[in-house]
Chains A and B, each alone.
Chain A
Amino acid sequence: MARKKVREYTGKRLLREAMKRIAAVELPINVAQVTQATNYPDLLAENPWLNQVKLVVKPDMLFGQRGKNDLVGLNLSFDEAEAFIRARMNKEVVINGLSGPVTTFVVEPFVPHEEEYYLSIQSGRLGCDVSFSTAGGVEIEENWDKVKSVELATGQAPTSAALAPLVASLPLELRPKMEAFIRNCYEVFDDLDCSMLEMNPFTLDPKSGQPFPLDIRMELDDTAAFRNGPKWGEVEFPLPFGRTLTAAESYVAGLDEATGASLKFTVLNPRGRVWLMVAGGGASVIYADTVGDLGWAQELGNYGEYSGAPNTQETYQYARTVIQTATANPDGRGRALLIGGGIANFTDVAATFKGIIRALREQADAIKAAKLRLFVRRGGPNYQTGLAAMQAVGAELDIPVEVFGPEASMTGICARAIDYIKVSAS
């Protein structure tokens, strides 16, 4: 299970489609997406409503507080909306200390409203928390005491009795409509393998009287993708705002998607001098921790992890990418690559090392040029063969390698690596 945020555009599209399919309710949602690639006449042809109503334009980049930075346009005609977006497309903004260009906008009808409701559904271990408030909108935090919540246990039906506390404070005539909407949203949430859905705020469309979400945040469980193809359609899982992938990172992300194994690579400091190539989801975090604990966080080049028994070819491609990145900025000072890991349960250490060794051979010149020294620690099936091969390839390529097995502590090589870069810096 891994929770992935989707754009507001996707969230609204999915809500409309699923509610029609499941509850036969047609929500008055119209929504269009604009990116750099958008052709405006085509967009209009596909969404004729864009020319029939006044519009709202918002950036759709998974960040909040959009009113600031002059990024929201209200009550615009289609031409005005186009001009608004063109003036802001690719503009660099800083949100919560993270900067990046705004590249995706969402466009929808402008709905003048007074009431602002709040609805959220959160998946928890034993059920789902459903929260509702009549005082939604930007001041939700301040009005948190007005938020009513119920927990629907896994398998529990969203009956009137169960949802009653949420709508108790509403005027009597509104309760059935609101209760039905909450129930339908819960059914949609369950049906789409959502892990989080929040509408803050939603209002009632003055024309149809139907609930109309002004803003949506949605998270999907990407491990359920295998059974949701037709329901989800084309779903994009964008990176968090401010996070762009380097070529090397996207390459590894591509490898990760294509295999049953797990391959992760995040560059922290491209000029860093301590680089990690660690086997295992648990161990990899601990290696990164340890470099930080030793006071060398600023020199940590990356976080990375390979696990779930990647084959030799996959390990080779992964290792090549890590080594290329680690050796990209030689500056005369020493660097360290930690080929670390715990004691494997079932991964054949010799087999995964075969892939790493192939990459080492191929990148030997770059490794020497960057004064990259290798520190190896690993245990598990066939570790003796794997470690001996690492020792041998170091001698063969004339690259210094320190090799440790299960008898040594797992993170001992962190201190050794740091000792090396300390000495070679002077």
Chain B
Amino acid sequence: MAPQIGQLFSKQTQSIFFNFKQKPVQRMLDFDFLCGRATPSVACIVQPGSSGFQKLFFGSEEIAIPVYPSTTEAAKKHPTADVFVNYASFRSAFESTQEALEQATIKVVAVIAEGVPEKDTKKLIAFARANNKVLIGPATVGGVQAGAFKIGDTAGTLDNIIACKLYRPGSVGFVSKSGGMSNEMYNVLSRATDGLYEGIAIGGDSFPGSTLSDHCTRYQNIPQIKMIVVLGELGGADEYSLVDAMKAGKVTKPVVAWVSGTCAKLFKSEVQFGHAGARGGGADAESAQAKNAALRDAGAVVPESFEGFEAAVKETYTRLVDEGVISPAPDVVVPEIPMDLEAATKAGKVRAPTHVVSTICDDRGEEPTYYGVTMSELITGDYGIGDVLALLWFKRKLPKYATKFIEMCLMLCADHGPCVSGAHNSIVTSRAGKDLVSCLVSGLLTIGPRFGGAIDDAARCFKEACDKGLAPPDFVEGLKRQGKRVPGIGHRIKSKDNRDKRVELLQNYAEKFFPATRYLQYAVSVEEYTLGKAANLVLNVDGCIGALFLDLLSSSGAFSAKEVDEVISIGYLNGLFVLARSIGLIGHALDQKRLQEPLYRHPWEDVLYTS
């Protein structure tokens, strides 16, 4: 660090933020707003592989901060942003920091990551020194210039920033290794003095990018700083550079210092404390006791213990006020920052209506549940797809015979050959080279009143007629008078003597297992009547499923009469056909892709051109 460097930041300082983290960026912007900054302190974000914008708040206004894929590009677009806040992991911190240091426009780089290899940091230190740049960290929370600029998570929550009066400059320059302790000390300084001017946590590594003495000599060059407070730590010899600077007259402002780690003498063998650079059992000169003594000897105010630190700071501050060196910084009114909805909700301060209601499942707990039934129970218990459907569609467990019946419906309706309209559409779409989902939905979109959609209608009509006690001939003729066909009756191919096997299977099953088959009986008697009119007016599979579902709903004991009406009117039963047929439609789409069938074109010969 060049000796003449003083102020690193101002109220106009803007930064480039590397590796987006929502919280620290938002905290920087909130700090800006508290300080009454006109511009946000984050000019842009670098996120390798991304571009576009990130939405954040500046006060109550939402702003879009540009995102660039590379630091070089970001620096080119934002040449006035001279601070680089690096949230890269320890694995990639070196490359990203090196790239930032190489940008002519970037002057200060803060590296947050903990665990950056020593060799990497040393290369960065050498490059920064050779190019007159300031490196803060690694393994740091950063730093803050009160009322001007804040790095990342420094100084924590808004409440804390306000409590420490960090929204306006005081008279104290502070530097320590520990990020956590700097925040603690900002509180101490707000009690014992008129507050912080600038504070830097240099990080806990053995070789920090910039040192305690680097920042102290810098503070010497900042006129607004009237006194310097230093919190050192055992291990390393950095404190001695400060001792030397004080003895050489390079630091003449009052220094109040404490070096922690006096407890190291309690340990018999070498102990690695929380910070990588804090290692007991090293040379005697690296002990807290020796460093405290050296600092005291060089003229610093050094208390007897950490407990006495606050009083020592206060004493020095009061003396400087009495001597007229410090005129206490006046307090200012800070604008109120709206609470984040999430925080306010958590604190019970706001309530907001939800926009979505869901009653069938929950994915918030240890494992997802379908209507209260856990995945474990589904997999280890005797559950099938029919049971899943019962839980998610009907919101209840149904007896085994009922869920088995649902599964039979799904199996029987899964496919009906390549020529029906749904399958044909899926085939044509697949051959047009479209993706699977397009193939599936093009087939599904044909399902309606003429194709596959008759289950609901049949159930509705049979139910109404049967419940009214309408005689089958009256029912059929009644519909005929309205110009309607009887839903669930009639088949293109099947006839009286060539019954639909699917209908037969369902009928046999229901007669064997259902408690009652009143609606099926009614449908059969309708069929008896219609067969008298034409041989192909048989009960088809839609009609059979419709009637049997009515029997299932009303005889299983699981549904009230009102619920049965609801199931029929909402259109649950067509859902069965849609679900089942999706299996077949996907099959057809995949089949065509596997066969690499070319684009389908309908032959001219097969079209009647007329006018």
Q: Which residues of chain B have C-beta atoms less than 8 A from A125's C-beta?
A: 122, 125, 207, 211
- The complex places the Cα of A372 from the Cα of B22 at a distance, in Å, of 41
Chain A nearest CB from B5 CB (Å) reads 18
Q: Does B536 contact A (CB under 8 A)?
A: no
Are the C-beta atoms of B266 and A343 separated by less than 8 Å?
A: no
* Interface members, chain B 231-263 (any A CB < 8 Å): 231, 233-234, 260-263
Q: Which residues of chain B have C-beta atoms less than 8 A from A266's C-beta?
A: 267, 271
Q: Does B535 contact A (CB under 8 A)?
A: no
Q: Which residues of chain A have C-beta atoms less than 8 A from B15's C-beta?
A: none
- The complex places the Cα of A44 from the Cα of B156 at a distance, in Å, of 61
Q: Does A334 contact B (CB under 8 A)?
A: no
Are the C-beta atoms of A409 and B307 separated by less than 8 Å?
A: yes
Q: Does A379 contact B (CB under 8 A)?
A: yes
Q: Does A289 contact B (CB under 8 A)?
A: yes
Q: Does B177 contact A (CB under 8 A)?
A: yes
Are the C-beta atoms of A224 and B119 separated by less than 8 Å?
A: yes
Q: Does A170 contact B (CB under 8 A)?
A: no
Closest to A224 in B: B117
- The complex places the Cα of A125 from the Cα of B204 at a distance, in Å, of 14
Chain A nearest CB from B455 CB (Å) reads 50
Q: Which residues of chain A have C-beta atoms less than 8 A from B234's C-beta?
A: 285
Are the C-beta atoms of A379 and B160 separated by less than 8 Å?
A: yes
Stretch at the interface among B275-283, B369-377, B414-422, B478-486: B275-283
Known A282-B181, A283-B178, A344-B183; judge A293-B306 contact (CB<8 A): yes
Q: Which residues of chain B have C-beta atoms less than 8 A from A2's C-beta?
A: 272, 276
Q: Which of B116, B157, B179, B271 contacts A303 (CB 8 A)?
A: B271
Chain B nearest CB from A3 CB (Å) reads 7
Are the C-beta atoms of B23 and A346 separated by less than 8 Å?
A: yes
Are the C-beta atoms of A283 and B118 separated by less than 8 Å?
A: no
- The complex places the Cα of A68 from the Cα of B310 at a distance, in Å, of 50
Are the C-beta atoms of A97 and B181 separated by less than 8 Å?
A: no
Q: Does A134 contact B (CB under 8 A)?
A: no
* Binary per-residue interface labels of chain A (197-221) against chain B in the complex, 1 for a CB within 8 Å, 0 otherwise: 0000000000000000000000001
Q: Which residues of chain A have C-beta atoms less than 8 A from B301's C-beta?
A: none
Are the C-beta atoms of A126 and B126 separated by less than 8 Å?
A: yes
Are the C-beta atoms of B126 and A281 separated by less than 8 Å?
A: no
Total interface residues in chain A, CB < 8 Å:
62
- The complex places the Cα of A286 from the Cα of B207 at a distance, in Å, of 21
Chain B nearest CB from A232 CB (Å) reads 13
Known A154-B122, A154-B126; judge A283-B180 contact (CB<8 A): yes
Q: Does B304 contact A (CB under 8 A)?
A: yes
Are the C-beta atoms of B269 and A289 separated by less than 8 Å?
A: no
Q: Does B176 contact A (CB under 8 A)?
A: yes
* Interface members, chain B 154-178 (any A CB < 8 Å): 154-157, 160, 163, 176-178
Chain A nearest CB from B312 CB (Å) reads 13
* Interface members, chain A 287-341 (any B CB < 8 Å): 288-293, 297, 300, 303, 305, 307-308, 341
Closest to A62 in B: B270
Q: Which of B114, B187, B231, B307 contacts A379 (CB 8 A)?
A: B187
Q: Which residues of chain B have C-beta atoms less than 8 A from A279's C-beta?
A: 180
Determine the interface band of chain B, counting residues with CB < 8 A from chain A. Answer: 35 or more
Closest to B304 in A: A293
Q: Does B123 contact A (CB under 8 A)?
A: yes
Q: Which residues of chain B have C-beta atoms less than 8 A from A411's C-beta?
A: 306-307
- The complex places the Cα of A345 from the Cα of B166 at a distance, in Å, of 14
Q: Which residues of chain B have C-beta atoms less than 8 A from A226's C-beta?
A: 90-91
Are the C-beta atoms of A282 and B177 separated by less than 8 Å?
A: yes
Chain B nearest CB from A99 CB (Å) reads 10
Q: Does B288 contact A (CB under 8 A)?
A: yes
Known A282-B176, A283-B180, A289-B262; judge A97-B157 contact (CB<8 A): no
Chain B nearest CB from A306 CB (Å) reads 9
Q: Which residues of chain B have C-beta atoms less than 8 A from A3's C-beta?
A: 118, 206, 279
Are the C-beta atoms of A345 and B187 separated by less than 8 Å?
A: no
Q: Which residues of chain A have C-beta atoms less than 8 A from B122's C-beta?
A: 123, 125-127, 154
Q: Does A342 contact B (CB under 8 A)?
A: yes
- The complex places the Cα of A78 from the Cα of B234 at a distance, in Å, of 46
Q: Which residues of chain B have C-beta atoms less than 8 A from A264's C-beta?
A: 272-274
Are the C-beta atoms of A285 and B184 separated by less than 8 Å?
A: no
Closest to B157 in A: A381
- The complex places the Cα of A289 from the Cα of B265 at a distance, in Å, of 10
Q: Which residues of chain A have C-beta atoms less than 8 A from B594's C-beta?
A: none
Are the C-beta atoms of B260 and A289 separated by less than 8 Å?
A: yes
Q: Does B115 contact A (CB under 8 A)?
A: yes
Are the C-beta atoms of B278 and A293 separated by less than 8 Å?
A: no
* Interface members, chain A 203-258 (any B CB < 8 Å): 221, 223-224, 226-227, 240-243
| Extra 14 A-B pairs, beta carbons < 8 Å, given A1-B205, A223-B116, A285-B261 | A1-B117, A1-B276, A126-B125, A224-B119, A243-B270, A279-B180, A285-B234, A286-B260, A289-B262, A300-B263, A344-B156, A345-B179, A409-B307, A411-B306
User: Could you list some 22 contacts between A and B, CB below 8 A?
Assistant: A3-B279, A123-B118, A124-B207, A126-B122, A223-B117, A240-B281, A266-B267, A268-B267, A282-B180, A282-B274, A285-B260, A285-B274, A286-B181, A292-B266, A305-B274, A343-B180, A345-B141, A345-B156, A345-B180, A380-B160, A409-B188, A409-B307
**Nearest 8 pairs of A and B residues by beta carbon:** A281-B274, A282-B178, A342-B184, A280-B180, A282-B181, A154-B126, A224-B117, A288-B263
Q: Give chain A's interface residues, CB within 8 Å of chain B.
A: 1-3, 97-98, 123-127, 153-155, 190, 193, 195, 221, 223-224, 226-227, 240-243, 262, 264, 266, 268, 279-286, 288-293, 297, 300, 303, 305, 307-308, 341-346, 379-381, 406, 409-411
